[in-house]
């Protein structure tokens, strides 16, 4: 559990519904903004398309796990 808290510290700080929603929105905005930036880089430098695609996928996965952890902490499934 400590390893999860190191990688997703914001997800374990939720204590109210409003805080949970804000945390989920933060993760979603991070995913969208970085996805847009990575898309621009891939468009400008097509040779890096595979690498940027892999990085974009990892960022999307990171944000998805953060949202799921925030919801589970709010529901008191995780502590």
pLDDT at 45 over 90: no
pLDDT at 21 over 90: yes
Predicted confidence (pLDDT) per residue in 49-64, tens digit: 888 889 999 999 999 9
pTM for this prediction: 0.86
Q: Could you tell me which residue, 70 or 48, shows the higher pLDDT?
A: 70
The DSSP code for 56 is H
pLDDT at 43 over 90: no
Is the Cβ–Cβ distance between 67 and 27 less than 8 Å? yes
- Report pLDDT for 34: 93
Distances in whole angstroms, Cα of residue 12 to Cα of each of 1, 40, 57, 69: 10, 32, 23, 7
């Amino acid at each position: 559990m400590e390893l999860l808290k190191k990688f997703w510290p914001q997800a374990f700080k939720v204590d109210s519904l409003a805080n949970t929603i804000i945390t989920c929105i933060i993760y979603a905005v991070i995913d969208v903004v970085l996805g847009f930036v990575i898309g621009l880089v891939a468009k400008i430098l097509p040779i890096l398309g595979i690498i940027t695609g892999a990085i974009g996928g990892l960022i999307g996965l990171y944000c998805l796990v953060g949202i799921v952890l925030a919801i589970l902490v709010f529901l008191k499934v995780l502590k």
